[in-house]
Structure 1
Amino acid sequence: MNHLTLETIQQRLAEFQSTWSASNPTLFVQRTSLRPAAVLVPLVREGGEWHLLFTRRSSRVQNHKGQVAFPGGAIEPEDPSVESAALRETWEEIGVEASRITLLGQLPLLTSVTHYLIYPVVGKMDWPVSLRLSEEEVEKVFTIPLAWLAQPDHLEREILPAGDGTLHEVLFFAPYQGERVWGISARIVYLLLKALKLTA
């Protein structure tokens, strides 16, 4: 993973987004009932290797209580861009200023079972950095090595019923130090690994 420079990450994200858009030209165009949201997918350097930073949501939030997630939330009318929304939510949830984050690109849009249209924004976060967790929203912040996430035997897939009765594929990563990434967060991780050519 050490061969991944910031320039390489930016290039591969742009290439992946372009290829994905070409393959799915009308994706989500008609999904106007979905509420737009943005999440930051924070890459950090720790111990000489790339890690992804995650949050564990508190029991006080409305959706996904106690689940592992990325910093993010609904895009508000006053947000000038998707990137601005992701940076704002990161500041509100974990207290990291936008000046400590270098934006690298985006991953393809995703939809959640809670009816959000999610824009994943990838960025390099200064690390270590001072954190200030929102007690209402975030219980914990932790990192997982990208190399660990890229190991094929750490990813599982299950077909499960959604709230509307339809079946859909759910991704699960094996537990890492007691924390388990699954659902939409696992899907974002998987897309990032594909974009960076770390998984098939």
Structure 2
Amino acid sequence: MAGSHSIMFLSRLEQVLKGPLPGPAAHRRMAPSDRDVGSAPKDHCPKRAGVLILLYPNQQRDQLYLLLTRRTETLPDHKGQISLPGGSQEPDDASLAHTALREACEEVGVSPDDIRILGHLTPIYIPPSDFCVHPYVAYTPRAPSFLVQPDEVAELLQLPIVHLFDESNVRTERWIRKGRQTEVP
């Protein structure tokens, strides 16, 4: 995705994010087959988190990238897992978008002043950690100089977003979970 194509893509993405979102149908496609995708159980108030889907150009400015992190093994939830920068909402956070920006700054050193929120995706409930995660799509016009918080982030993963549109990158494995065979994307 080259320069002007990136601008067109971002403009189109921002417009799409203003419309109706596919929600649980999209979540279901990438969830284990035995996972009930949707919201938290009724009469239950899960913890809330904001995460940042940060898009940015590479150094040559000819492709857009997406930032992922691998969590350290010392964190209380989701040890060693691949994740988006973000975390728990704190009482001082003005919004979940603010939470996502604050946490991204803390974890990988990106300045909220350089980031523009394009929109949000449908929140998803994560049963193992009892979080309702609110993803925000954002853009920064320059390749960030990352400053990793080593207590939280074991590794930065910078993924060209064109890989997300390549169906050959989606694979399914069979796992045994709770004594049953499960399809896991």
The alignment's TM-score, normalised by the length of structure 1, stands at 0.71
DSSP-derived class of the 1:6 partner: helix
2:157 matches 1:147: no
Q: CA–CA distance in 2 between the matches of 1:64 and 1:115?
A: 11
Name the structure 1 match of 2:39.
28
CA-CA distance at 1:7 after TM superposition: 2.0
Query: Alignment partner for residue 11 of structure 2, among 3, 7, 27?
Result: 7
Instruction: Rate the CA distance shift 1:72–1:51 in 2: closer, same or farther, 3 A.
Output: same
Report the aligned-residue RMSD: 2.5
DSSP-derived class of the 1:141 partner: strand
The aligned amino acid for 1:100 is D
Select the structure of larger CA radius of gyration: 2
Number of residue pairs the alignment of both structures matches: 164
Name the structure 1 match of 2:100.
86
Name the structure 2 match of 1:118.
133
2:102 matches 1:98: no
Unaligned runs of 5+ in 1: 22-26, 172-200
The alignment's TM-score, normalised by the length of structure 2, stands at 0.76
Name the structure 1 match of 2:65.
51
CA-CA distance at 1:140 after TM superposition: 1.8
CA-CA distance at 1:162 after TM superposition: 6.3
The aligned amino acid for 2:39 is F
Q: CA–CA distance in 2 between the matches of 1:111 and 1:97?
A: 28
- Structure ranking higher on relative contact order (CA contacts 8 Å, 6+ apart): 2
Instruction: Rate the CA distance shift 1:168–1:71 in 2: closer, same or farther, 3 A.
Output: farther
CA-CA distance at 1:155 after TM superposition: 0.7
Instruction: Rate the CA distance shift 1:75–1:62 in 2: closer, same or farther, 3 A.
Output: same
CA-CA distance at 1:32 after TM superposition: 2.7
Unaligned runs of 5+ in 2: 25-37
Structure 1 window deviating more from structure 2 (83-92 vs 148-157): it is 148-157
DSSP-derived class of the 1:122 partner: strand
